[in-house]
C-alpha cells in the first residue's frame, strides 16, 4: 500500500450539507477501491489562483489515505465527473 493525498476544491455556490455530501462521496470512492483514510483536513474557503467557472473562491479539503497503486486512477475517474468539484489532485505522499 502506498500513501496518497487527495486535494479537492469544492464550489462555494452550494450549501454546507451538499458540500458535506460531496466530501463523503469522495471518501466513499477511496474506500470503494480499497483505500484506508488516515486523515481529513478542512482548510475552509480560500481564494483561487485564477477564476474557474466564474468563481474566485473554493472550499479546500485534503484527504490522506493508503491504497494500492491502481486506486488513484480509479478514484480520479469518478471524481472528475462529480458536479461542484472545482479542482482536484491526487499525489503520492513521500515517506517521512
**How many whole angstroms separate alpha carbon 4 and alpha carbon 38?**
10
Domain ranges in the chain?
1-12+21-51+68-85
Residue 51 and residue 31: Cα distance in Å, rounded?
32
User: What interhelical angle do 71-80 and 16-32 show, nearest 10?
Assistant: 150
Taken as a whole, the chain contains a residue count of 96
Write down the mean pLDDT value for the chain. Answer: 93
Q: Give this prediction's pTM.
A: 0.89
C-beta atoms surrounding 50 within 10 Å: 6
Cell numbers at 44, concatenated:
475552509
Residue 94: per-residue pLDDT: 76
Give the pLDDT confidence of 73-84 residue by residue, as tens digits: 999 999 999 999
Amino acid at each position: 500500500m502506498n500513501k496518497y493525498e487527495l486535494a479537492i476544491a469544492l464550489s462555494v455556490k452550494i450549501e454546507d450539507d451538499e458540500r458535506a455530501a460531496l466530501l463523503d462521496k469522495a471518501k466513499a470512492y477511496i474506500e470503494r477501491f480499497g483505500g484506508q483514510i488516515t486523515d481529513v483536513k478542512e482548510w475552509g474557503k480560500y481564494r483561487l489562483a485564477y477564476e474557474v467557472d466564474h468563481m474566485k473562491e473554493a472550499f479546500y479539503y485534503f484527504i490522506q489515505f493508503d491504497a494500492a497503486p491502481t486506486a488513484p486512477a480509479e478514484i480520479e475517474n469518478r471524481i472528475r465527473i462529480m458536479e461542484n468539484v472545482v479542482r482536484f489532485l491526487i499525489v503520492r505522499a513521500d515517506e517521512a
